[in-house]
């Protein structure tokens, strides 16, 4: 499994296809933090929302870099389940790197500030909330990117449509007062919660919501891939 | 390995590509899969290799180590031959040293040593096909599935395929191979599965196929080349008679001269159960 994850990451990096989502992520973060300074938890909550479609796109590209024939050769070597899981793991590792950059980025450009008023979260606590918000977005973004991959949709056009609809829906259906917020992962809800008091029960509920969404999306992906080698 | 009442179609409500396939291949056996273009040969081979899974029915007793050589090797990858094969060996579960040893062995065996540092997209079709063969042989396969393995290979490399098949069979493995160029005459004793109209039938192994003998005359200087070409096309050359006197073809004056061939084959081979055109 590790060897396959490394092989796929190597292909992703060597083709140079990793550059496009990396640049898009940097541009999005630049715009986000160019508008002013915010406290870490609030800034990172919005950063996770902004990165969600970027991470999904990055996942799609990583999975699409591998030719269909090569994916089938790997399937013969390791079996369908490990082939699919290794793809998701490779995308997860790539997303972790992007998230690490996103967590460091605001400190380099002066986009975050420490506590301003008494009762504000400390910087370490804010960073912790930010890490949690990004880690909640990561598996959901990977699942969306996998659903949009060529192996899943069978066509580049459908893949882009899945990616665009998923990215827009995550924001649109995640707005306060949405009629069906449970249809999308809680990236928007997490951003709102991160800016507030964030009691433990909210953390648990949002984590459970994200896990349930990822489980559902992951199951759809694996089921869909049963007859799509 | 057995395919038990296997049905396959590529999409819901699509046409069945394979219907109620019931075949079996035992260790030590070679099976040649035949059929016209689009009959479902590659689909059958991909089912056997584990690329595709049946919509209905099941595959039983498939060996754990399967080597699959697709009809077209996916060369559009950003790796050198060595890096790719080493990566595939590791993916197949070979530990580091063993992976390097396997890569060294198979690159040498298949004449890929000069190409070890060449990137896959820069390889010729034939050389890329050899990389496809190498990746399938990195771990001793219990089942080797070859989809048109001779495609693009030069004459020397074409001779290697039967050698690899013999080695797998000698090791107790099974081999499935498809071919539309008549190269499978190089695999005497192989069983034959015919794929047609979505079904797979085993051709009669007793040899009821009929043969015709075609006599032809060629300039002496072209004998060796002609014999080689005929063999490459899957024909059996029985003998060559260099002293033949061309005679007029009674049915097609003033057509080309005709001569019987009656001398030992200059290429040294005397094999061939039948003559001429199949």
Contact A69 B73 (CB under 8 A): yes
Contact B91 A4 (CB under 8 A): yes
DSSP string, B78-92: S-BHHHHHHHHHHHT
Q: Please tell me which residue of chain B has the smallest CA distance to A15.
A: B78
Question: Which structural domain range is residue B40 located in?
Answer: 2-202
Confidence of residue B275 (pLDDT cuts 50, 70, 90): very low
Q: What residues of chain B lie within 8 A of the CB of A76, using their CB?
A: 49-51, 66-68
Instruction: Note whether B184 and B259 are same-domain residues.
Output: no
Give Cβ neighbours of residue B51 (< 8 Å, ≥ 6 apart): A72, A75, A76, A229, B68
Q: What is the pLDDT of residue B206?
A: 59
Confidence of residue B13 (pLDDT cuts 50, 70, 90): confident
Q: How far apart are CA A211 and CA B194, in angstroms?
A: 50
Last residue of a domain, one of B202, B234, B267: B202
Q: How far apart are CA B54 and CA B278, in angstroms?
A: 34
Instruction: Note whether B227 and B153 are same-domain residues.
Output: no
Instruction: Note whether B198 and B219 are same-domain residues.
Output: no
Q: What residues of chain A lie within 8 A of the CB of B51, using their CB?
A: 72, 75-76, 229
Q: How far apart are CA A146 and CA A166, in angstroms?
A: 12
Q: What SS3 string covers A81-150? A: HHHHHHHHHHHHHHHHHHHHHHHHHHHHCCCECCCCCCCCCCHHHHHHHHHHHHHHHHHHHHHHHHHHCH
B77 shares contact with chain A (CB less than 8 Å): yes
Q: Please tell me which residue of chain A has the smallest CA distance to B71.
A: A69
Last residue of a domain, one of B149, B167, B202: B202
Q: What is the pLDDT of residue A208?
A: 96
B160 shares contact with chain A (CB less than 8 Å): no
Q: Quick one: average pLDDT of A68-92?
A: 95
pLDDT digits (tens, 9 = 90+) for A132-146: 999 999 999 999 999
Last residue of a domain, one of B155, B176, B202: B202
Q: What is the pLDDT of residue B179?
A: 79
pLDDT digits (tens, 9 = 90+) for A103-136: 999 999 888 888 778 778 889 999 999 999 999 9
Angle between helices B125-137 and B155-170 (to 10 degrees): 10
Q: For chains A and B, what is the number of CB pairs under 8 angstroms?
A: 66
pLDDT digits (tens, 9 = 90+) for B230-272: 776 666 777 788 776 655 554 444 444 343 344 444 444 433 3
CA distances for B137 relative to A83, A118, B27, B106, B143, angstroms: 20, 68, 17, 8, 10
Instruction: Note whether B148 and B128 are same-domain residues.
Output: yes
The closest of A48, A43, A51, A47 to A25, measured between CA atoms, is A51
Q: What residues of chain B lie within 8 A of the CB of A69, using their CB?
A: 70, 72-74
Contact B52 A229 (CB under 8 A): yes
The closest of B243, B237, B211, B213 to B225, measured between CA atoms, is B237
Instruction: Note whether B81 and B219 are same-domain residues.
Output: no
CA B84 to chain centre: 23
The answer to whether the CB of B176 falls within 8 A of the CB of B45 is yes
Backbone angles phi, psi at B99, to 5 degrees: -65, -45
The closest of A109, A96, A147, A121 to A28, measured between CA atoms, is A109
pLDDT digits (tens, 9 = 90+) for B94-114: 998 999 999 999 999 999 999
Q: Please tell me which residue of chain B has the smallest CA distance to A11.
A: B78
The answer to whether the CB of A18 falls within 8 A of the CB of A4 is no
Q: What is the pLDDT of residue B278?
A: 38
Q: What is the pLDDT of residue B205?
A: 62
Please state, for a pLDDT cut of 70, what percent of chain A lies above it.
100
Q: Which of A50-59, B127-136, B175-184 has the lowest mean pLDDT?
A: B175-184
Contact A15 B78 (CB under 8 A): yes
Q: Please tell me which residue of chain A has the smallest CA distance to B144.
A: A76
pLDDT digits (tens, 9 = 90+) for A2-42: 999 999 999 999 998 999 999 999 999 999 998 778 888 99
Q: What residues of chain B lie within 8 A of the CB of A87, using their CB?
A: none
**For residue B119, what is the DSSP state?**
B
Instruction: Note whether B118 and B214 are same-domain residues.
Output: no
**For residue B236, what is the DSSP state?**
B
Contact B74 A68 (CB under 8 A): yes
Q: What is the pLDDT of residue B245?
A: 60
Instruction: Note whether B197 and B250 are same-domain residues.
Output: no
Nearest to B51 among A3, A15, A72 (CB): A72
Contact A7 B50 (CB under 8 A): no
Instruction: Note whether B180 and B70 are same-domain residues.
Output: yes
Does the structure show a pLDDT above 90 at B145? yes
Q: What is the CATH number of the domain that holds B17?
A: 3.40.50.300
Q: What is the pLDDT of residue B270?
A: 38
Instruction: Note whether B170 and B261 are same-domain residues.
Output: no
Instruction: Note whether B180 and B93 are same-domain residues.
Output: yes
CA distances for A163 relative to A1, A54, A152, A227, angstroms: 27, 10, 12, 21
Q: What residues of chain B lie within 8 A of the CB of A81, using their CB?
A: none
Give Cβ neighbours of residue A173 (< 8 Å, ≥ 6 apart): A179, A180, A181, A183, A184
Q: How far apart are CA B107 and CA B128, in angstroms?
A: 12
Q: What is the pLDDT of residue A132?
A: 96
CA-based nearest distance B161→chain A, Å: 19
Q: Quick one: average pLDDT of A60-69?
A: 95
Q: Quick one: average pLDDT of A145-168?
A: 92
Instruction: Note whether B46 and B161 are same-domain residues.
Output: yes
pLDDT digits (tens, 9 = 90+) for B17-66: 999 999 999 999 999 998 888 888 999 999 999 999 999 999 999 999 99
B40 shares contact with chain A (CB less than 8 Å): no
Instruction: Note whether B189 and B258 are same-domain residues.
Output: no
Contact B78 A73 (CB under 8 A): no
Q: What is the pLDDT of residue B248?
A: 52
Q: Quick one: average pLDDT of B182-192?
A: 77
Contact B91 A10 (CB under 8 A): no
Pairing verdict, β B143-147 and B2-8 = unpaired
Domain count, chain B: 2
Q: Please tell me which residue of chain B has the smallest CA distance to A83.
A: B91
């Amino acid at each position: 499994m590790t060897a396959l994850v490394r092989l796929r990451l190597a292909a992703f990096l060597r083709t140079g296809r990793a550059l496009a989502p990396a640049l898009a992520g940097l541009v999005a973060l630049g715009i986000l933090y160019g508008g002013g300074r915010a406290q870490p938890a609030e800034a990172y909550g919005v950063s996770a929302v902004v990165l969600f479609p970027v991470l999904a796109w990055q996942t799609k590209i990583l999975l699409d870099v591998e030719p269909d024939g090569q994916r089938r050769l790997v399937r013969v070597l390791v079996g369908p389940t490990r082939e699919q899981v290794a793809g998701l793991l490779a995308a997860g590792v790539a997303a972790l790197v992007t998230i690490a950059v996103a967590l460091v980025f605001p400190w380099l450009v002066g986009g975050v500030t420490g506590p301003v008023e008494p009762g504000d979260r400390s910087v370490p606590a804010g960073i912790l909330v930010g890490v949690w918000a990004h880690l909640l977005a990561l598996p959901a973004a990977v699942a969306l990117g996998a659903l949009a991959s060529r192996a899943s949709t069978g066509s580049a056009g459908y893949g882009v449509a899945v990616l665009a609809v998923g990215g827009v829906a995550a924001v649109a259906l995640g707005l306060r007062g949405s009629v069906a917020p449970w249809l999308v992962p809680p990236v928007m809800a997490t951003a709102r919660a991160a800016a507030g008091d964030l009691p433990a029960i909210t953390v648990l509920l949002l984590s459970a919501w994200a896990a349930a969404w990822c489980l559902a999306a992951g199951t759809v992906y694996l089921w869909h891939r049963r007859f799509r080698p | 390995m057995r395919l038990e009442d296997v049905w396959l179609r590529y999409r819901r409500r699509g046409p069945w590509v394979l219907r109620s396939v019931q075949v079996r291949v035992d260790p030590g056996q070679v099976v040649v899969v035949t059929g016209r273009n689009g009959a479902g040969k590659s689909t059958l081979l991909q089912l056997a290799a584990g690329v595709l899974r049946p919509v209905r029915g099941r595959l039983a007793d498939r060996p754990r180590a399967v080597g699959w050589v697709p009809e077209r090797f996916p060369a559009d990858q950003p790796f050198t031959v060595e890096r790719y094969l080493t990566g595939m060996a590791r993916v197949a579960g070979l530990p580091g040293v063993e992976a390097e040893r396997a890569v060294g062995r198979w690159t040498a065996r298949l004449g890929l040593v000069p190409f070890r540092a060449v990137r896959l997209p820069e390889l010729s079709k034939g050389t890329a096909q050899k990389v496809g063969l190498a990746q399938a042989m990195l771990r001793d396969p219990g089942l080797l599935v070859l989809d048109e393995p001779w495609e693009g290979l030069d004459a020397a490399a074409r001779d290697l395929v039967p050698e690899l098949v013999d080695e797998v069979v000698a090791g107790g493995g099974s081999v499935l191979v498809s071919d539309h160029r008549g190269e499978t005459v190089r695999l005497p004793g192989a069983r034959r599965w015919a794929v047609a109209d979505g079904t797979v039938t085993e051709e009669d192994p007793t040899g009821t196929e009929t043969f015709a003998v075609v006599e032809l005359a060629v300039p002496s200087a072209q004998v060796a080349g002609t014999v080689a070409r005929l063999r490459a096309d899957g024909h059996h050359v029985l003998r060559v008679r260099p002293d033949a006197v061309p005679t007029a073809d009674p049915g097609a004056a003033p057509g080309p001269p005709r001569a019987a061939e009656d001398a030992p084959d200059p290429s040294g081979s005397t094999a061939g159960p039948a003559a001429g055109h199949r």
